[in-house]
Amino acid sequence: MDAVHWGKVGTIALSWVTSPLLAGSIAFFLFRSIQKLIINTEDPLERAKKYVPMYIFIVGFIIAMVTMVKGLKHVGVKLQFNESAMIAAGIGLFIMVLGTIMIRRLKFDPTDDRDFHFSNMEKIFGVLMIFTAIAIAFAHGSNDVANAIGPVAAIISLANSAGEIAAKSATPIWILLLGGGGIVLGLATYGHKVIATVGSGITELTPSRGFAATLGAAITIVFASAVGLPISTTHTLVGGVLGVGLARGIGALNIGVIQTIFMSWIVTLPAGATLAVIFYYVLQLTLG
């Protein structure tokens, strides 16, 4: 029992609660702003054309800013805060211009709004979803892949230093590629199950709702990665989806699916620990 740093475990376990709450809160207020500025207006399509580029700028600026301030120092690049802000703003503007060009190339048909009043408006948010999907993928790589390859990197470091434990060591590129490849393989094989649960099981999502959920999750994950806190991307994204659902009303949520997800979160830690203990003793008995 003394071999485990229980304080650190407690901090990580607490983050599994705080990260969905934070992502949910951000997503809630983001979607509320979309409702006020765009959806609940007389001409949602024109308002979307006006305000969506601003949301695109926010996506680019936040991800770039955190990367500039926290991420680049690990590859030997150190910038002043003002320099980072200027570069991030430039990246945000570039992405905003790119998104605006994509929006202008969209074709809108008034007849599409007969069955669903917001069909043409949601086409614009479909463009925005491209950028938020990139943001959440970036956030996922910065956190979950790091979680997976952390033990491998530590073992390789021990082997290379003849058993001497170092506080910090460089991670070989091949380990990073191994972790990234594993994530891609998992997505290609079993990822569709999680996609179905998060994408449609919790609440009905449209591009505008999905944008709020993914951006709320991406912001939370990137900031957690910047401070070195391992959190669950899935937990965080579920929190973002819940926040959007709550913005529409409690009736928009599938309570049964949510209860199942929460139960799986509770089971995850003790189940993983128990299996690790069993595997350890099996290896100890077989290998000596």
Q: Counting every residue, how long is the chain?
A: 288
Helices (H), strands (E): how many in the chain?
9, 0
Q: Is residue 147 over pLDDT 80?
A: no
CA dist list (Å): 113 to 72, 116, 151, 210, 235: 45, 5, 52, 20, 35
User: What sign does the CA torsion over 176, 178, 183, 188 have?
Assistant: positive
**CB distance 220 to 237 below 8 Å:** no
User: What sign does the CA torsion over 69, 73, 76, 80 have?
Assistant: positive
Q: Is residue 233 over pLDDT 80?
A: no
Section 150-174 average pLDDT: 73
Q: Is residue 118 over pLDDT 90?
A: no
Single out the residue of 209, 214, 208, 240 nearest to residue 47, CA to CA.
208
User: Is residue 76 very low, low, confident or very high in pLDDT (cuts 50, 70, 90)?
Assistant: low
Q: Which pLDDT value is given to residue 101?
A: 92
Domain residue limits, the chain: 6-253, 255-288
Among 61-75, 107-121, 267-281, which stretch is predicted with the lowest mean pLDDT?
Answer: 61-75
User: Is residue 278 very low, low, confident or very high in pLDDT (cuts 50, 70, 90)?
Assistant: very high
**And the tokens for 127?**
């463009």
User: Is residue 274 very low, low, confident or very high in pLDDT (cuts 50, 70, 90)?
Assistant: very high
What pTM did the predictor assign?
A: 0.75
Alpha carbon distance 19, 261 (integer Å): 15
What is the per-residue pLDDT across 8-34, written as a single tens digit (0 to 9) for each? 888 877 877 888 888 889 889 999 999
User: Is residue 81 very low, low, confident or very high in pLDDT (cuts 50, 70, 90)?
Assistant: confident
Among 105-114, 116-125, 235-244, 249-258, which stretch is predicted with the lowest mean pLDDT?
Answer: 249-258
What is the per-residue pLDDT across 192-215, written as a single tens digit (0 to 9) for each? 877 787 777 777 778 888 888 888
**And the tokens for 43?**
């001409």
Q: Which pLDDT value is given to residue 75?
A: 60
Q: Which pLDDT value is given to residue 73?
A: 61
Q: Which pLDDT value is given to residue 254?
A: 75
Single out the residue of 182, 202, 178, 201 nearest to residue 250, CA to CA.
202
Look up residue 30 and give its amino acid: L
User: How many other C-beta atoms lie within 10 A of the C-beta of residue 25?
Assistant: 16
Alpha carbon distance 26, 20 (integer Å): 10
Mean pLDDT of the chain: 82
Q: Is residue 169 over pLDDT 70?
A: no
Section 52-73 average pLDDT: 80
Q: Is residue 164 over pLDDT 70?
A: no
Section 105-119 average pLDDT: 80
Three-class SS state of 193: helix
Look up residue 74 and give its amino acid: H
Three-class SS state of 162: coil
User: Is residue 245 very low, low, confident or very high in pLDDT (cuts 50, 70, 90)?
Assistant: confident
